[in-house]
Amino acid sequence: MLIVAERINASRKGIREAIKTRDESFIKKEASNQANAGGDYIDVNAGGSSDEAEALKWLVELVQQATDKPLCLDSADPKVIKQVIAGCKMPPMINSMTLEPYRLEPILSLVAEHGARVIGLCQSEEGMGRTLDTKLALADRLVEKVTGFGINIENLYIDPLIFPLSTDSKAAVVSLEAIDRIMTEFPGVHTICGLTNISYALPARKLVNRNFLVCALFRGLDAAILDPTDDALYAALRSGDMLLGRDDYCMSFISAYRKGRLV
């Protein structure tokens, strides 16, 4: 399971304030903690800043001082990604791309130029994929566009889009089936999702997120945007990977136990 560590996001009050005040030590500590906790990529998001590109460049520089983990550049604006990507020491992941022309073509060009990975959302100019059929149709178009651009399918991480159970009691079932079908029908592609949408407006949200993650692992999910410092969530991930035969000789699970991570 590839972990995209989510905590350096301007939607969080602490991060937003750190960006505003240019609190270098706060950002570096967040980056280091997430890397040490198992993050494979460190997501950096400066959305909502008065100058998003400038703020994101600042985050990129600081995070790369704190850890040698690659970055996940998180912005809805392709122009911002273009201004920032050259500052990455290693090929980054781009979060995210849709089938909307104004986002699709510029992002594909950057992915090809920099050897990046990319998160492709099941979303087009007609809207977001809510049903199983629309998720699969949009996933098919993403694969077609990416491979048609000469990009290896293994660099594509499809996000089927997770909607809240509080507004649709079948949201989890539909998303899980979509993950299964995408992984089966498009060999080589990856699937990824953020967990927190599934539990929006529900009590005991972390419990819901953990159980959804394990269910998604069973259906083939091989990447997730999450908080690796959440020991209970991390424990669910490691035990799930082990039970599914993805942890050779259970070494990752045992290592997590020895580090006191299995809550």
188: CB partners within 8 A, 6+ apart: 152, 153, 154
**pLDDT band at 238; cut points 50, 70, 90:** very high
How would DSSP label each residue in the chain? Answer: -EEEE---BTTSHHHHHHHHHT-HHHHHHHHHHHHHTT-SEEEEE-TT-TTHHHHHHHHHHHHHHH--SPEEEE-S-HHHHHHHGGG-SS--EEEEE-SSHHHHHHHHHHHHHHT-EEEEESEETTEE--SHHHHHHHHHHHHHHHHHTT--GGGEEEE-----TTT-TTHHHHHHHHHHHHHHHSTT-EE--BSGGGGTT-SSHHHHHHHHHHHHHHTT--EEEE-TT-HHHHHHHHHHHHHTT-SGGGHHHHHHHHTT---
Residue-wise pLDDT for 107-149, tens only, equals 999 999 999 999 999 999 999 999 999 999 999 999 999 999 9
What is the Cα–Cα distance from 163 to 175, expressed in whole angstroms? 8
C-alpha atoms less than 13 angstroms from C-alpha of 195 in its C-beta half-sphere: 29
State residue 168's pLDDT score: 97
The mean per-residue pLDDT over the stretch 37-52 comes to: 97
Residue-wise pLDDT for 182-214, tens only, equals 999 999 999 999 999 999 999 999 999 999 999
What is the Cα–Cα distance from 70 to 116, expressed in whole angstroms? 10
pLDDT at 176 over 90: yes
Among the listed residues 150, 220, 143, 208, the one whose alpha carbon sits nearest the alpha carbon of residue 178: 220
State residue 263's pLDDT score: 81
Q: What is the pTM of this model?
A: 0.97
**pLDDT band at 42; cut points 50, 70, 90:** very high
Average pLDDT, the chain: 97
Question: Per the structure block, which two tokens stand in for 15?
Answer: 């991060």
**pLDDT band at 36; cut points 50, 70, 90:** very high
